[in-house]
Structure formats: C-alpha cells, structure tokens
Amino acid sequence: MISKKILFLIIILIFLLLSNVLLSLPKNFSPHSNSLNKRNDVKVYNLTITKKKLAPDGFTREMYAINDLFPGPLIEVNKGDTLRLNVYNDLEEKTAIHSHGMFQRGTPWYDGFSGQSQCDIQSKKSFTYEFQVNQSGTYWYHSHSKAQYIEGIIGALIAHDPDDPYLKEYDEEIVVLIQDWHHNDAKTLLAQFLSPESNGNEPTPDNGLINGMNSYNCSGAPNGSDCVSNAPLANFKFVQGKKYRMRIINTSAFSVFIFSIDDHPMDVIEVEGMMTQRYTIHRLPINVAQRYSVIVSADKPIGKYWMRSEMETACFATQSDTLNPLVKAIVEYEGSDGNDNPNSSAWTDSQATCIDLDTSNLKPYEVQTIPDADYKVTLNVTFQPDDKNVTRGYINNSTYVLDSKFPTLLKVYKDITTFKPNQNVYTIDKDKVVDIILNNFDTGNHPFHLHGHVFWVLGIGINGTSPDYNSVNTKDPIQRDTVTVPAGGWHIVRFVSNNPGVWSFHCHMEWHVQSGLVMQFVTQPDQIKELKPPDDWFNLCKS
C-alpha cells in the first residue's frame, strides 16, 4: 500500500514538474538537470488541438492552440528515446502533425504529411505518433495539413544528446521561436493568393513574433478590431557570468529574418541537428524551417539589451505600410533595475539579403566522408499561370496536386507503382546516393526541405551563375534538412537514400506548398512493404 502511495505522489510530482515546463515558454532550462540519460525511455506527450481566441501581439483573433498554448508545448527527448505523441483533434476540421527533421526510420507512416504519408486525423478523433528518436538537435513540430501551421499549430521539439560535445560549454538552454504573423485567417489569405488577381504575390505578414509575443500599433488595424497596442514583448532572463545555448527556430510561413542580440556575439554550434565547429557571428539570417544553436555569453554589464529579429522585407513581393519589420524581445540581466526599455544599439555588420547564412564558413564538428553520387536529379523550379490563370509553383513543369484521401504511402502498400504526373513522384529503388541539382527560375528565394533525411549542402549559387561541380564543396560541407535556393540561383545537395518511405521534398514557405511547389521521393518500395504500419494508420483512410 505504502509503495503505491509513494508511486502516486511521484506521479503527481512528475505531472506538476511537467505542466510547469509546458506552461511557461519562454523559460530557461538546464540541460544538466534535465535528467540526461541513455536509458532509451518512452516520452509521452498529449497534444489536444483546439481553436481559441488569442492575442499574441495584442490583436485578438481566432487561431489554433495546442493544450491551450501558443506556441505549443515544448517537447523534449533524449537521443535514443521513443517519442509518443497522442494527438487529439478537437477541431471541426481535419489535421495531421509532422515532426520536422525526424528521420522516421522504420516508421515512415508517422511522418505526418497528409496526402503523402497518411490520411488526415478527422475532427474529434485521436491518433498516436510513436517513433524512436535516434538523433539529437533542434527540431519542431507542426501541422502538415492545409495552411494550419501559419495559424498556430507549431511547437519546438528538442532532442538532447548526453554525449553532446558542447554540453560543458554552456549552463542553460533557451528556445527562441521566430515567426511571421497574420491578422487575417489563412483560409481567406490562401483563397486570395490562389486567385488570378494575386499574380502569385504572397500575402504580406502583419507582424512577426518571438516565442508567440510582440506588440503591434493598433492604428494599423481595421476599424472595429479587438486590438490593444503595446502588448508585452518576450523577455529572456540572463544571469551575468552564465553561458546560454539558444536554440533558434524559424517557424515562419514566408518571412526571412536576421536574428541578433545587441552587444552579444553568438557562436554557432549546431545547424539542424549537425554539430559544427564554433563560428562567431553577430547577425544570423535564418530562413523558414531552419534552425541553429548558438552559444551566447552573458558577459556584458548588467542591464537590458534588445533581441532583434529583422524581417527581410526586400524578399516580399509586396510591401505593407503597417508592418513593423523589426521584431523585438528583451534580454534582461538579473539585477537590472527600472522598467525602462533597453537602450542598446544594433550590430551594424552588413548581411546579404534573402539568402542563407554563408555555410561555407561552417565546419562539421566531426570529419565526415562524403560518398560519391549514384544519381543526379535535376529539378527546374518555376512559377507560371495554370489553365485557370492562377499562378502556381512547378517542378519540372509539373505542379503538385494533393491527393489527400489516398496518400502515396498507402498506394505503395496497395502495390501501385506508377503515379499520376501531378504527384511529382521520383522513385529510388535501391540504397543510393542522390544529388538534387535545383535550378530556380523564379524571382523569389525558396527554402527547400527534405523529409526523412539530412543532406550535404555541396553548393549554392546566385542569379547569373549555373550549377557547377567544379565550384562545389565535396570535402567538408555541412548537413542540414532545409536549404534556401536564391532567386534565379541554384543549389546542389546530396543525400544517402537508405530510409524506406515516402519523403516529401518541398519549399517550406506554406503559400508555395499550397500552390504546388512539392515533389516526393518514393524510396525502396520493396523495403517499405516489409515494414508493417499499425491498423490505426490504415483506419485513418477509412473515415
């Protein structure tokens, strides 16, 4: 009896600790007290997705929340753990959850891309995603159904590594989610975007957020809005003398930001799960879906400093009069007095616009051997009007059309081997090394993301240059899962295609996903068929 009571108390305690962590983003947490271990635990998170009226920046609107939170709860695992996500869809519409950057080796049916790896989770139904996390680093999860992630179905997913080489070089961790924000609902914006009148010009955001917060000048809001100016900014606490690992995640729909903290240089140590050698910068460009870890030393005089996330409006198709592109948060040293705002000044280093951090300056932490390529897949990206005069995204002259009721992975299980041209399928039968040579003929930049893998970024070229194997790095490039191809430019990336499944390769700007800038790799269909999805997964397609 006593042991049961104690067990009960322990469960209550764990629950209290857990709910404390979940309810208080942004919050520093210590990697050392986070029970880092190599036990291969099962970590369980319940995610209930609802609609809710919230005002992240003072402007009240109907949006999504996960467990009543925006951003959604912070998910933490240790490398080797199994992550179980019990998703309950409490919406009046369908949804699906993708864990961005997770390899899903052996569990391709949990990748969460509705129409490719699963059917949607119906309204008022549950679905459990369960997979082993054999990787570490900074990730996120988001809806991969319609444009839902734009309106709040996002959260951070951190995989700690008990053997992280930098573990002793920082004291605490801070998660920073950066995103753009719209005051209109995505359905309206999407209908406008996918109409002939838009000419393919993407909706311009109304604001940007840091960890779901910012202020907004309500004089820019339509009459009758429920809007309060000067909403609070996110506040990050520093203790002088401590070192912080900041995990910066860009969950934007469209905007590219440049991230910085006044007076505080940052050492990049991680790019999307790959540890790098330390590289000091002042201003970090970070495109949609990209992630970096940086180490920041709180070694400046006690006071307050601006954290800045500057939207690169030069990359927008149309400009807005009411958008303040400078998104701010406050870094406050313990012991600072007064309620005054920081008076610090921004770094002045110039930074090329609308392209990735020049990763040629980043070196992997460990030396890798890069295999030679077996296949070279050339992809041409264009935007053109379709037969209804709606501007859509094309890969090799083909725009992707979602087949949400019959996902590609299910087709594979039904022994279908040929796919409609509008599915943009590329099949890789054997364990191969694949180069993607992507030519961007569009006037915008595009952050391309590959599901289920990381790739080596061999080379990126700007407008006026062409893909050239003589100028690429096959010696010590970094690996990541999201790379930006510049306007009019190209990239060459290489990946080892040894993970059986259906893996999307798409631009991560949500507007462009919806306009068809998507393809999918069907990898080793024979091996896929040896993997057995659970009945619950098949049942998703029966409703």
Residues 209-238 that bind ligand NAG (CB under 6 A): 217, 219, 222-223
Residues 34, 52, 106, 531: which binds ligand NAG (CB under 6 A)? 106
Residues 22, 271, 288, 373: which binds ligand NAG (CB under 6 A)? 288
Record the tokens describing residue 455, joined without a space: 């790739």
Indicate the SS3 state at residue 530.
Answer: helix
* Rounded CA separation 59/480 (Å): 35
Q: Provide, rounded to whole angstroms, the least separation between the CB of residue 53 and ligand NAG.
A: 22
Residue-by-residue DSSP string for 483-515: EEEPTT-EEEEEEEE-S-EEEEEEE-SHHHHHT
Which residue in the shown chain puts its C-beta closest to ligand NAG?
257
83 binds ligand NAG (CB under 6 A): no
- 153: nearest Cα among 55, 47, 255: 47
Q: Provide, rounded to whole angstroms, the least separation between the CB of residue 87 and Cu ion.
A: 27
Give the x-and-dash track for 494-533 against Cu ion (CB under 5 A). Answer: -------------x-x--x---------------------
392 binds Cu ion (CB under 5 A): no
Whichever of 319 and 443 has its CB closer to ligand NAG, that residue is 443
- Residues near 213 by beta carbon (within 8 Å), at least 6 away in sequence: 56, 57, 231, 232, 233, 234, 329
438 binds Cu ion (CB under 5 A): no
Residues 257, 448, 456, 490: which binds ligand NAG (CB under 6 A)? 257
DSSP E strands in 202-318: the ranges are: 207-210, 235-238, 243-250, 257-261, 266-271, 274-281, 284-286, 291-297, 304-311
Whichever of 54 and 133 has its CB closer to ligand NAG, that residue is 133
329 binds Cu ion (CB under 5 A): no
CA atoms 534, 540, 541, 543: torsion sign: positive
Indicate the SS3 state at residue 141.
Answer: strand
Stretch that binds ligand NAG, among 116-124, 284-292, 452-460, 472-480 (CB under 6 A): 284-292
Q: Provide, rounded to whole angstroms, the least separation between the CB of residue 390 and ligand NAG.
A: 8
- Residues near 186 by beta carbon (within 8 Å), at least 6 away in sequence: 146, 147, 148, 150, 151, 510
Sheet holding 375-385, edge to edge: 391-395, 375-385, 432-440, 490-497, 455-461, 479-480
The strand pair at 455-461 and 479-480 is best described as antiparallel
464 binds ligand NAG (CB under 6 A): yes
Give the x-and-dash track for 440-459 against Cu ion (CB under 5 A). Answer: ------x-------------
Task: Give yes or no for a cis peptide into 71 (omega within 30° of 0).
Answer: yes
* Rounded CA separation 302/107 (Å): 49
Q: Provide, rounded to whole angstroms, the least separation between the CB of residue 277 and ligand NAG.
A: 22
Residues 378, 422, 471, 543: which binds ligand NAG (CB under 6 A)? 378
Is 318 buried (19+), middle (13-18) or exposed (0-12) by CB count in 10 A? exposed
519 binds ligand NAG (CB under 6 A): yes
Q: Which residues bind ligand NAG (CB under 6 A)?
A: 44, 46, 86, 105-106, 132, 134, 178, 196-197, 199, 217, 219, 222-223, 250, 252, 254-259, 285-288, 309, 311-312, 315, 343-344, 377-380, 385, 389, 396-397, 424, 426, 439, 443, 447, 463-464, 487-488, 519
Q: Which residues bind Cu ion (CB under 5 A)?
A: 446, 507, 509, 512
